[in-house]
Amino acid sequence: MVSAGAYADDDNSSVVDFNGNPVDKSKTGGWLGAGLILGTELTERICVMGISMNLVTYLVGDLHLSTSRSANIVTNFMGTLNLLALLGGFLADAKLGRYLTVSIFSTITAMGVSLLTIATAMSSMRPPACDDFRREHHQCIAASGGQLAMLFASLYTVALGAGGIKANVAGYGSDQFDIRDPKEEKAMIFFFNRFYLCISLGSLFSVTVLVYIQDNVGRGWGYGISAATMVIAVLVLLAGTPRYRYRRPQGSPLTVIWRVAYLAWKKRKLPYPAQPSQLNDYHQAKVAHTEQFRCLDKAAILTDKPTSNEEGSNGRIGDDNMMSTVTQVEEVKMILKLLPIWSTCILFWTVYSQMTTFSVEQATYMNRHIGSFVFPSGSLSFFLFITILLVTSLNEKLLVPFARKFTHNVQGITSLQRVAIGLIFSMLAMVASAVVEKKRRDFSVHHDTRISVFWLVPQFFLVGAGEAFAYVGQLEFFIREAPERMKSMSTGLFLTTLSMGFFLSSLLVSLVNKATNGGWIKNDLDKGRLDYFYWMLAVLGVLNFIVFLVIASHHEYKVQNFSSENQAKELDEWRDENVDEIIKGIDV
C-alpha cells in the first residue's frame, strides 16, 4: 500500500540497519536485500493463484457443494484477501514496520497453505467419492461442517497472510534503494521490472504446472508444493535480516481519517465559525480550504486548550480539547471525492471474478482433449495473464505515444479514459460469455456434443485486455488524485474495489439463486441458464458505464493544462516514479 517513490521526501534518519544505526550502503540494501525479498512475492503469487484459479472444481467435484455456493466461497476468499491488505498496510505504517509485517504475514501464509495441504490430502476431510454430483437430485453426500471448517480455516489463514504480504512487500523492496543516489534510483526501476516478472512467473506457474498437478496427481501434492515454496521463502527472508534497510513506521493515514470523522461527529452540535480562518492552523494549511463536505470542518474548530500540533500527533481520541487541522480535514475531503469513481470501478472486478468461478466450471463440461492430453480447466487463466502482459506492453509502447500525437496530452489517454476502455471490454466479455455458454448448452443438450474448451478463450482475452486498461487506470487515478501524504491510503482504496467486486459477485449469485429459485445456476449447468446470468452482468455493466461517464465528466483532475515542456516533463517523471512502478509492484 505504499508507493515506490513515496519516501522521496522522508528524512534519511528514518532509514536504519538491523541494529538501528545509519545504514552502510556497502553492506545493506540494494540488490543484496531486494533480491531476497523478491522470493516472497513470487511464492505469494504461486500460493494465491494456485488456490483461487482451480478451487471451484475441488469444491464441486470433491466436496459435492453446489455450483453457486462453490463460486461464492472462491469470491469471498479473494474479497477477504484484498480487504485484509488494508489491515496489513495499517499495521506496517502505524506500528510494526514493513519487515516485521512481511515476516509475520509470510509465516501466517505458510501455515495456511500447510493446513490446506492437510485438509485436501486427508481422505477423512472429504465426503465419499461420488460420480453423480452434477445431477439435479444426486444422492452424493456433501462435505460435513467439520470438513468445511478445516477448509475455511486454512483458506482464511492464507487470506490473512497474503493480504499482509500484498500490502507491504513492494514497498519493502523499494526501501532497499535510496532514490537520492542516482545509481540506486536506476536500480530500483529494474527492481520493479523484476518484481513484476516474479508476479507473472508465479501466476503462470500456478495456472499451468500446479493446476495440472492438482487435477492429475492430487490436490495435496499441488498445495504441498506451494506450502514448501512458502516455507523456503520465509527462511530466505529471515536469513537476510542483517542485510536489509529498515524504515521506521511513520503513522497510518487511516488514523488521520478516523480522527477527523470522530471529531466531526463529536463536535456536530457546535456552530460553524464565522470565518474559515478561525479553524485550527488555517493559515499554515498545506491544502486550500474548500466548502465541500463542510460538516467535516467541525473537526478543526478551535477550542480553548488545544492539545494537537499541526500534524495531529498529540492528544488522544476522547480528549475534549483535541482537534484536527485544516490540512487533515481537506485531505479527508479529497479522499471522499474519489468515492463516486471508486463505486463505479467495483463491477469490473465482479466480471473478473467470473473467470475464476463459473468460467472454470464451464470448462469441465467442454471438450478439453488435445490429442491424448487433457487441458486442465483452471489453466484457462493462462490466456488471461498472457493477454494482460501483451496488452500492457502494447499500451505503453504503441497506444500512449500514438494518442499523444492526437490529444496533445502527455499522458496520451487519461486515467479515467483507461478505466472507461476497461469497462467496455468487461461488458463485451460478458456478452461473449453469454453467447458461448448458450452455444455450449445447446450442443450438449440437443446434440449430445461437447464443444472445444477453447471457445472460452475470447472471454478470457477480453477480461485480460480490460484489466490491462482498468487496473492501470484505476491505480493511476487513485494515486494521482489522492492527497500527497495519503498515497498509501489511495492504493488501499484501489485494492478495496477488487475486494468489493468479489463480494458483489457473491451477493449477486445469492440474489439470483433466490429470485430464480435456483433456476439459472444449477449443479448441472446443462439444466441451468448460466447465460442469463452473464447477460444480467452485461446489462449491469452498461448501466454502470453510463453512471461512470456522468461522474467522470464532472471530475476535475488535480493536475491540468500542461502547457509548457517543463510541465510535461515533470508529469512524465512523476508517472515514472509514482505510478508505473506501483503498477508493476502490485497484482490482483
Cβ–Cβ < 8 Å for 444, 526: yes
For 6, half-sphere exposure in the C-beta direction (CA atoms, 13 angstrom radius) is 27
The C-alpha cell that represents 529 in the structure block: 441458464
DSSP state of 246: E
Radius of gyration of the chain (CA): 25
Sign of torsion over alpha carbons 196, 198, 202, 204: positive
Residue 164 identity: G
If you write DSSP's letter for every residue of 57-94 in order, what string do you get? HHHHHTS---HHHHHHHHHHHHHHHHHHHHHHHHHIII
Closest by CA to 248, choosing from 97, 421, 47, is 97
Domain spans of the chain, in order of start = 14-251, 336-583
Fold match, 14-251 / 336-583: yes
pTM over 0.85: no
Provide CB contacts within 8 A for 536, sequence distance 6+.
508, 512
Helix axes 30-52 and 145-174, enclosed angle (nearest 10) = 150
Q: Are strands 373-374 and 15-16 parallel, antiparallel or unpaired?
A: unpaired
Residue 384 CA to its chain's centroid (Å): 16
- CATH, range 14-251: 1.20.1250.20
- In angstroms, the CA 584 to CA 34 distance is 15
The C-alpha cell that represents 562 in the structure block: 500542461
The C-alpha cell that represents 63 in the structure block: 466436496
Q: How many CB atoms lie within 10 A of CB 12?
A: 11
Cβ–Cβ < 8 Å for 395, 429: no
- In angstroms, the CA 238 to CA 486 distance is 30
pLDDT in tens, the chain (588 residues): 333 333 334 445 578 888 888 888 888 888 888 888 888 888 998 999 889 888 998 998 889 898 889 999 999 999 999 899 888 888 888 888 889 999 999 999 999 999 999 999 998 888 988 876 666 666 788 888 888 999 999 999 999 999 999 888 888 888 888 877 888 877 776 776 677 678 878 888 999 999 999 989 989 999 999 999 999 999 999 999 998 999 888 777 788 888 899 898 988 888 888 787 778 877 777 777 887 888 888 888 876 544 444 444 444 444 545 788 888 888 888 888 889 999 999 999 999 999 999 999 999 999 999 988 999 998 999 999 899 888 887 877 777 777 777 766 666 778 899 999 999 999 999 999 999 999 999 999 999 899 999 999 999 999 999 998 998 888 778 877 877 666 666 777 888 899 999 999 999 999 999 999 989 998 889 999 999 999 999 999 999 999 999 999 988 776 444 344 444 444 455 445 444 444 444 444
Residue 308 CA to its chain's centroid (Å): 35
Task: Spell out the SS3 assignment of 116-146.
Answer: HHHHHHCHHHCCCCCCCCCCCCCCCCCCCHH
3-class DSSP assignment, residue 506: helix
Provide CB contacts within 8 A for 75, sequence distance 6+.
353, 356, 357, 502, 503, 505, 506, 509
b vs e for 412-422, b when ≥16 Cβ sit within 10 Å of the residue's Cβ?
bbbbbbbbbbb
- CATH, range 336-583: 1.20.1250.20
β partners of residue 370: 373
- In angstroms, the CA 13 to CA 30 distance is 17
Alpha helices (H) in 395-414, listed in sequence order:
400-407
DSSP state of 108: H
Compute φ and ψ for 562, nearest 5 degrees.
-85, 90
- In angstroms, the CA 158 to CA 455 distance is 33
3-class DSSP assignment, residue 301: strand
Closest by CA to 203, choosing from 326, 41, 434, is 41
